[in-house]
Chain A
Amino acid sequence: MAYFLQQLVNGVTLGAVYGLIAIGYTMVYGIIGMINFAHGEIYMIGAFISFLTFLLLGALGVSYVPVALLLVLMSTMAFTSVYGWAVERIAYRPLRGSTRLAPLISAIGMSIFLQNYVQLLQGARVKSLPPVIEGGFILMRQGGFTVQVTWLQLAIFVLTLVLMVLFTYVVAATPLGRAQRACEQDRIMAALLGVDVDRTISLTFVIGAALAAVAGLMVTLYYGVIDFFIGFLAGVKAFTAAVLGGIGSLPGAMLGGLLIGLIEAFWSGYFSTDYKDVSVFGVLVLVLIFRPSGLLGRPEVEKV
């Protein structure tokens, strides 16, 4: 039982990270109808920027943890958002009217470019960071096994929750959110009604990137090690989460993220760590075959 709880705690933490990345995928898909293949790399860039900011603050002698965290959070979100914006402007906007294959290939090219860009500038080796937030509390003890929840895990969970609430509010109640939903429904009509479609799409990418940045920061803190390749696998899993939850649905993205995190944690806890990625991927294939609209999504009707 205790073991199960521990996997649960780990899974929820992992799920929060995936959920934040998944939101980026689902929002972009909702508004321009395509998968942002480079999104995983944006997350990876967020992780690197947070890592470097920590180092910088350390070198500058900023040691008060809450301040450092705040600074890192702001810096990471700011810079990563610019990356998100740039990716849209360079690789997607020029191709908005073209065939379905061209933006996909452009996206993959962007993904490859960003991966190697970071690899060349930051080196191919794994980077590690000493733990910043340590300690936690014990949830329960059973037969010699303790179920621990670290402060970090708690922080991740709370921060994600806060961001989710904030975000749901933004989409439901603000003009930006309305503009976004309008563009999702009918881009041409929205433009005719005076919605600045370009700006709305850009903002969508920026927000998605910011959330992915937060995920990157969390991962840097949580695992303490990053390398240029983490975006690839995380990207596929977060995309799986978005599809599982229902692509285009925000609560779906979080739900999907949570589920994928739990699946991965339980699989590695009870079966094998080697094949945990295969388990997640298996979920993707099953969902796409049997319920492509996901858990909370709406079935798509083909327009002829």
Chain B
Amino acid sequence: MGSGTVKDAALAGVVAAILALPLAGFQSVDLGTAGLGIETRFSYVAIGAGAVFFGRLALAFLRGLHVNVPSVALPRFQGGRLLGGVLVAAAVALPFVPFASRDVIYLGTTILIYVMLGWGLNVVVGLAGLLDLGYVAFYAVGAYSFALLAGWLGLGFWEALPFSGLLAGTFGIVLGFPVLRLRGDYLAIVTLGFGEMVRIVLLNWTNVTGGPNGIAGVPAPTFFGLPFTPRAPHDGMTFHGFFGIAFDAQQKMIFLYFVILALALATNFLTLRLRRLPIGRAWEALREDEIACRALGIDPTKVKLSAFAIGATLGGFAGAFFATRQGFISPESFTFQESATILAIVVLGGMGSQTGVVLAAIVLVSLPELGRVFAEFRMLIFGAAMVLIMVWRPQGLLAWREPSIRLAAAEAR
């Protein structure tokens, strides 16, 4: 390792020090009535600079070893199907495992919500290559439409679910129609804006959406009409009563878990199917080369709209489930941060890869649970990870594109 690398690392360290100096080195301190004072934290600067310095050295060292960590081409991941099967089996078994407390199952439902959202956004970003930064808008439409339908028309979860999806999908078409012919950057920022605008409307249209307080009293789903409560309204039959077992608060949570699991599996099935149909192939072709698509007679706007609409519908379903699990919703849950998290899941999981999205969702959702440190640093890590993945491995961590049709298989059919 020559002096060149040390010099290079030192330079990086110096730059890091300069960057860290104002924001890490100083902190405002509350002096009470005297306003704000300032204190120094030069140790932070030193740590930051040092970390960058040693990091660069380490990277240069690894490269020198010809380990070539960054550009190792992962061999084709043969176990794709197997991994998927294992995950499904694990998911089904989760509630019955000994350590499955209420919190664990609740975490499971959260993971599954994000898996579903990830798969939905995957259709738009991963398959069709449209950068949608406002996906949370469809999530919100699904949630709020269910809450409102329940409040105004007394619909239950199962009755409202299709409407939530439909409304979200329509929203997707309406939103998409004017903007889908825009090129990538513009589309990204317009969708970002849409997401924010939806949140602002939800926050301010107090008459309908309840403003910052949101909507409470969203009903929980029933098992063919049997509620999961100790006693049923009008002294009707309850779930536990019907099956002759004692009431347990956990039953509802387990049921919710299986509901979202079913929704997620249905989403997966639909997406995999669509990918093998002309529409799915058109999405991917569009992502590869829009100009070539036009030259083949494919209408790019219609294809983009379909991706947008289906992605939105799936987001809507997830939103409805979210509302029913929480029992109440507010605009706080539908910020840009959510869109960013879902995008991170799709990007880190490998755009287009179903299994990748699942793994990324598990990691990203579970991370904050592992400790307060992780919770605080979550978004920071996401942001950094997104940059790193794009620079290092743009196809994502687990990307291998499975062709949607194979000659041998097609002819055997």
Determine whether A and B are in direct contact in the complex, meaning some CB atoms lie less than 8 angstroms apart: yes
- Seen from chain A, the residues whose Cβ lies within 8 Å of a Cβ on chain B are 29, 34-35, 37, 45, 48-49, 51-53, 55-56, 58-59, 75, 79, 82-83, 86, 90-91, 94-95, 98-106, 108-118, 120-123, 127-130, 232-233, 236, 239, 243, 274-275, 277-278, 281, 284-285, 288-289, 292, 302, 304
Instruction: Choose from A55, A56, A100, A120 the contact partner of B184 (Cβ within 8 Å).
Output: A100
Shortest A29–chain B CB gap in Å is 8
Number of interface residues of B (CB under 8 A): 59
Tell me which residues across on chain B come within 8 A of A129, comparing CB atoms: 36
B185 within 8 A of A: yes
Contacts A108-B340, A113-B380, A113-B384 given; indicate if A56 touches B193 (C-beta within 8 A): no
Q: Please, what's the 1-or-0 string for B17-51, where 1 marks a CB less than 8 Å from any CB in chain A?
A: 01101111011100000011110000010000000
A116 to B15, CA, bound (A): 20
* A101→B131 contact, CB < 8 A: yes
- The 6 lowest CB-CB distance pairs between A and B, nearest first, are A109-B386, A113-B383, A112-B383, A106-B390, A109-B387, A116-B380
* B179→A285 contact, CB < 8 A: yes
B190 within 8 A of A: yes
B129 within 8 A of A: yes
B374 within 8 A of A: no
Shortest A107–chain B CB gap in Å is 9
Tell me which residues across on chain A come within 8 A of B390, comparing CB atoms: 91, 95, 102-103, 105-106, 109
B266 within 8 A of A: no
Nearest chain A residue, comparing its CB with the CB of B37: A59
Q: Please, what's the 1-or-0 string for B322-365, where 1 marks a CB less than 8 Å from any CB in chain A?
A: 00000000000000100010011001000100000000000000
A277 to B201, CA, bound (A): 10
* B382→A127 contact, CB < 8 A: no
A117 to B38, CA, bound (A): 19
A243 to B186, CA, bound (A): 9
A29 to B184, CA, bound (A): 13
Tell me which residues across on chain A come within 8 A of B197, comparing CB atoms: 277-278, 281
A55 to B29, CA, bound (A): 10
Instruction: Choose from B35, B185, B380 the contact partner of A104 (Cβ within 8 Å).
Output: B185
Q: Please, what's the 1-or-0 string for B165-201, where 1 marks a CB less than 8 Å from any CB in chain A?
A: 0000000000000110011111011101110110011
Tell me which residues across on chain A come within 8 A of B185, comparing CB atoms: 29, 34-35, 100, 104
A267 to B66, CA, bound (A): 61
* A82→B18 contact, CB < 8 A: yes
B376 within 8 A of A: yes
B379 within 8 A of A: yes
A79 to B190, CA, bound (A): 31
Instruction: Choose from A55, A82, A99 the contact partner of B28 (Cβ within 8 Å).
Output: A55
* A274→B23 contact, CB < 8 A: no
Nearest chain A residue, comparing its CB with the CB of B29: A55
* A121→B18 contact, CB < 8 A: no
Instruction: Choose from A53, A106, A288, A292 the contact partner of B387 (Cβ within 8 Å).
Output: A106
Instruction: Choose from A112, A243, A277 the contact partner of B196 (Cβ within 8 Å).
Output: A277
Contacts A/B (CB < 8 Å), 11 sampled: A35-B188, A52-B28, A58-B37, A82-B18, A98-B394, A121-B44, A122-B27, A275-B201, A281-B196, A285-B178, A285-B179
Instruction: Choose from B131, B189, B204, B343 the contact partner of A239 (Cβ within 8 Å).
Output: B189
Shortest A181–chain B CB gap in Å is 21
Contacts A53-B22, A55-B26, A55-B38 given; indicate if A91 touches B192 (C-beta within 8 A): no
A292 to B186, CA, bound (A): 10
Shortest A18–chain B CB gap in Å is 15
A49 to B15, CA, bound (A): 16
Shortest B203–chain A CB gap in Å is 8
* B204→A275 contact, CB < 8 A: yes
B377 within 8 A of A: yes
A219 to B90, CA, bound (A): 53
Tell me which residues across on chain A come within 8 A of B376, comparing CB atoms: 120
Tell me which residues across on chain A come within 8 A of B36, comparing CB atoms: 55, 127-129
Name the residue in A105, A115, A121, A281 with the highest tally of chain B Cβ atoms < 10 Å from its Cβ: A105
Contacts A55-B28, A106-B386 given; indicate if A278 touches B201 (C-beta within 8 A): yes
Instruction: Choose from A53, A104, A232, A285 the contact partner of B190 (Cβ within 8 Å).
Output: A285
Name the residue in B15, B35, B383 with the highest tally of chain A Cβ atoms < 10 Å from its Cβ: B383
Name the residue in B22, B28, B131, B388 with the highest tally of chain A Cβ atoms < 10 Å from its Cβ: B22
Tell me which residues across on chain A come within 8 A of B189, comparing CB atoms: 35, 37, 236, 239, 284
* B382→A56 contact, CB < 8 A: no
Please give 17 more A-B residue pairs, beta carbons under 8 A apart, in addition to A34-B185, A95-B391, A236-B189.
Answer: A35-B186, A35-B188, A37-B188, A37-B189, A45-B23, A51-B28, A52-B23, A86-B15, A91-B391, A100-B183, A105-B343, A105-B386, A108-B340, A109-B385, A113-B386, A236-B196, A275-B201
